[in-house]
Structure formats: structure tokens, C-alpha cells
Amino acid sequence: MILSGTVIADSSTVISDGGVVIVGSEIEAVGTREEIFDTYPNHEHKEYDIIMPGLVGGHIHSVQSLGRGIADDTELLDWLFDYILPMEASLTEKSMEIAAKLGYLELIETGTTTAIDHLSVAHADRAFEVAGEMGLRGIFGKVLMDRRSPDGLLEDTDQALNETKRLIQKYHRSYDDRIRYAITPRFAVSCTEECLRGARELADEHDGVRIHTHASENRSEIETVEEDTGMRNIQWLDEVGLTGEDVVLAHCVWTDESEREILANTGTHVTHCPSSNMKLASGIAPIWDYHNRGINVALGNDGPPCNNTLDAFTEMRQASLLQKVDKLNPTVTPAEVIFDMATINGAKAAGFDRVGKIREGWRADILGVQTDLTRATPLHDVLSHLVFGAHGDDVAFTMVDGNVLMEDGEVTVADAKEIRRQAHNIELDLEEAREISQEVKP
């Protein structure tokens, strides 16, 4: 297949009238329209205004999608213990499947092709299978919670790690290696030392398995860890082995100099979730500083209950705007840096080689984006428009690993209307789980 249009191969390579040739799951050639059509005269051909790499959601809670907007404007502890944990605890195998379908549908529609996805404690199989069948790429993991957690989510340490091991064996490198495993402790507060060290051991035992957790999102979290361990949160994670080039830490809002040095020295990846940090009033993560220290920063939408969308274009814009106002400097986090965060940096965090740019021999994870829109008129700088002006709605074509997931604005791998109908009809009954979660609410 040939895709033609303005090709944004990466943040520094724009071919204003270009083409991309896809053969199987790979990109065979990238060039000017003329070069491409001369060399590949008889290929199937699609034209979009912009051809760009698929976006990478560096921290996603896709299966929280049934809780979209469930607790807007709510205090953090109420948000977590009255809504989010009860919702996760009350997910059945069936509702987990629908939640996953709804989450992944939104990713496909809005151009996220790779997800770093925090599932829930139970029923992770359903999410792996839905993601695999709908054609996404990503690293996914069941959540580990072995203390300070409500019944329904709380597990024995052994049980949690054994279940993780089973899921790794079943799903890691499945679906043509699009689907991989990330061991997913919820955060240091809800995991024992044994659990965190166990996570590191499991990761070391399985080639390509990564670790993904929340870290230093809010102040009460880091205070609790300090009371537990006498250390700052990132120091503690480093102590138990949860830093390094195979580790993705979401948020990292509240870090001190020593922690930033650890992140930089260990090659730990940080995912910034600006809309979530704003909506939950967590704080402003110092990502311009991280970037300047050489820390690899990705972007993520977090979950629909704290965003309320999984549209990665929203996060690109938000990430840049939030740093600019925080630094009182409109030149920080320029479009090209943000575009990298949402593409190649995310792919590095997820551990996928040859993903995140449009390059010969790289995986064919590609979007077609339309610009015949008032908000794209006039169009002075295509890359800058994608960061500051575009929206998930503008994505008309989504390809992962050479497979077309959406074409001309229509998702081809699922029945979007039917998924929305099913999701609307789910009755979330949180009462019982909410009562139980009160017992551990601080």
C-alpha cells in the first residue's frame, strides 16, 4: 500500500509532497511523491493531508473507560476510594471486556497506535485479547496491590506475582509481538517491598518484559512512602530495583534533585500526563527540566475518569501549554520536542524498536490526518499545527503493523456503534465495593 500526502517522518523530517510504501508489517520506502510512484507504480494507494507516525500513549488506563466523567470535580481521596477503586473492583469478566473495547476504540479513533496500559487486578486476559484482536501495539499489565487496598483488589503477594507470571507466559510477545507484558505495581503505597522486589525479579527473568508503575504523582503519596521507608519515593523505587531502562514511571510530579539524578542516571522513562495532573490537582511535573537532563519523557492521557478523553493530541497541546505558563516562557517545550514525546520517546519507553518514526525498515504504525478544517486554516507549519491545533477527530486513517484499523474515519476492526451501545448499557453497581473500600480509605 502507498500512503501519500505531507509526510511527517519525524519531528525534523517533513516531506511536503511525499509518499510511504508499506509491504506487510513494515515500511518499505519513504520519499517524494514522484520517487515513490515511479518506483512502485501498481500499488494500492490512499491519500491523506498528513501522513505521520502513530502516537504512543505512555500511560493509559484503558479499562477505566466505563468510569469516564464518573467523578469530575471530586477530592482525590474521594475520587479514588469512592469511585475508581470500587469501579475496578466491581468489573466482571464481561464488563472488563467492554471497558477494554471502549478504551481501545477511542485510541484507534484518535490515533494512538501503541499503549502503555495499566489494566486492573482481575480479568486482565480479556484486555490482552481485546487489544490483540483489535490490532493495537502496546505493553499491558495486570495491577499488583498487596497492601492498603480494599478487598476485591487486594491480593497475597505470591498470588499477585504468580498471576503475573501466568499472564507473561500467555501473552508476552503474542499477536505477532505487538502485545507485550509490563509488570504493573499500582504504586509504592499499595505494594509491599516483597512485591516490588518480586516485580524486578520477574522482569529480569523474561526478556523484553518491562515495569510500569505510578510514581510521585501527589504529595500525600510521597509522604506515605517517606513514613514507610525513610526515603523519597524515587530513592525507594531505586532501592528495590524499580528504576532502569526497562522501567516506565508515570507522573513524577514531585521529585527533588536527588531523585532527578536517579532518573537520569538509570535511564528510567517518565510519562507526563498533563491533563490528569491538572484535573486531579496533582501539580505541574518539571518535564522541561527532565528533558534538559536527557531523561526520556513520554506523554499519556491517564484514564477517562481523570482526563476525560484518551485523545493524545489533547495531551500534546496541554503538555506544551502547561510548561510554558509554569516557566513563564513561551519558548519552552516547542512543537518538535512535544511531537517526539508523543511518538519516538513513547516507543522507547515501551521498548519497541523501529516504532515511533516513519523510516525504511521500521514497523508500519502510521496515521492519516485531515486538514481541510477551519481550525487548520491557514496552515503555516504542519508539525506545529499537529501539536497546538489538531484534535483526535482529525485522524482519518490508523495503521498498526501494516494492518488498517481505521480508514476514511471508519474503524474497520470493530463495530464502534455496538461497543458504545454496550458501554452505555452497563450498569456500574459500585455500592458494595464502595462500602468495602471505605475500610481502607485514609
Our CB check for a copy of itself shows the closer of 79 and 140 to be: 79
Cell reading at 269: 522513562
Can you tell me the distance from the alpha carbon of 119 to that of 143, in angstroms, rounded to the nearest whole number?
Answer: 6
Sign of the dihedral defined by the CA atoms of residues 333, 65, 251, 118, in that order: negative
Q: Cβ distance 335 to 388 under 8 Å?
A: yes
Q: Cβ distance 208 to 178 under 8 Å?
A: no
Determine if 272 is a binding residue for a copy of itself (CB under 8 A): no
> In whole angstroms, how close is the CB of 224 to a copy of itself at the nearest point?
17
Determine if 278 is a binding residue for a copy of itself (CB under 8 A): yes
Cell reading at 42: 501498481
> In whole angstroms, how close is the CB of 309 to a copy of itself at the nearest point?
5
Which DSSP category does 174 fall into?
A: B
Can you tell me the distance from the alpha carbon of 104 to that of 403, in angstroms, rounded to the nearest whole number?
Answer: 15
Cell reading at 37: 510512484
Residue among 164, 19, 179, 68 at smallest CA distance from 113: 179
Determine if 14 is a binding residue for a copy of itself (CB under 8 A): no
Determine if 331 is a binding residue for a copy of itself (CB under 8 A): yes
> In whole angstroms, how close is the CB of 19 to a copy of itself at the nearest point?
22
| Binding to a copy of itself, residues 99-158 (CB under 8 A) | 102, 105-106, 109
Our CB check for a copy of itself shows the closer of 66 and 144 to be: 66
Cell reading at 368: 492519516
Our CB check for a copy of itself shows the closer of 241 and 283 to be: 283
Determine if 391 is a binding residue for a copy of itself (CB under 8 A): yes
> In whole angstroms, how close is the CB of 394 to a copy of itself at the nearest point?
9
Determine if 33 is a binding residue for a copy of itself (CB under 8 A): no
Determine if 313 is a binding residue for a copy of itself (CB under 8 A): no
Determine if 327 is a binding residue for a copy of itself (CB under 8 A): yes
Among 280, 298, 350, 433, binds a copy of itself (CB under 8 A): 280
> Strand 55-60 to strand 2-10: parallel, antiparallel, or no bridges (unpaired)?
unpaired
> In whole angstroms, how close is the CB of 312 to a copy of itself at the nearest point?
13
Phi (first) and psi of residue 9, to 5 degrees:
-70, -40
Which DSSP category does 390 fall into?
A: -
Can you tell me the distance from the alpha carbon of 84 to that of 68, in angstroms, rounded to the nearest whole number?
Answer: 10
Determine if 372 is a binding residue for a copy of itself (CB under 8 A): yes
Determine if 73 is a binding residue for a copy of itself (CB under 8 A): yes
Determine if 308 is a binding residue for a copy of itself (CB under 8 A): yes
Among 52, 70, 273, 369, binds a copy of itself (CB under 8 A): 70
Using the contact rule CB under 8 A, the part of the chain among 42-50, 120-128, 197-205, 321-329 near a copy of itself is 321-329
Using the contact rule CB under 8 A, the part of the chain among 84-92, 126-134, 228-236, 318-326 near a copy of itself is 318-326
Determine if 389 is a binding residue for a copy of itself (CB under 8 A): yes
| Binding to a copy of itself, residues 252-271 (CB under 8 A) | none
Cell reading at 331: 519558548
Residue among 6, 10, 1 at smallest CA distance from 356: 10
- The alpha carbon torsion through 35, 36, 41, 45 (nearest 10 deg) reads -150
| Binding to a copy of itself, residues 398-417 (CB under 8 A) | 416-417
Can you tell me the distance from the alpha carbon of 103 to that of 113, in angstroms, rounded to the nearest whole number?
Answer: 12
Can you tell me the distance from the alpha carbon of 90 to that of 265, in angstroms, rounded to the nearest whole number?
Answer: 40
Determine if 224 is a binding residue for a copy of itself (CB under 8 A): no
Query: 17 exposed, middle or buried (CB, 10 Å; 0-12, 13-18, 19+)?
Result: exposed
The one-letter amino acid code at 246 reads D
Our CB check for a copy of itself shows the closer of 324 and 354 to be: 324
HSE of 364, CA atoms in CB hemisphere, 13 A:
24
Among 94, 166, 170, 424, binds a copy of itself (CB under 8 A): 424
Determine if 221 is a binding residue for a copy of itself (CB under 8 A): no
Phi (first) and psi of residue 120, to 5 degrees:
-125, -175
> In whole angstroms, how close is the CB of 80 to a copy of itself at the nearest point?
11
Q: How far apart are the first and last CA of the chain?
A: 56
Cell reading at 434: 464502595
Q: Which residues in this chain contact a copy of itself in the complex, by CB under 8 A?
A: 66, 68-70, 72-76, 79, 102, 105-106, 109, 275, 277-284, 308-311, 318, 320-322, 324-325, 327-331, 334-335, 372-375, 377-381, 384-385, 387-389, 391-393, 416-417, 419-420, 423-424, 426
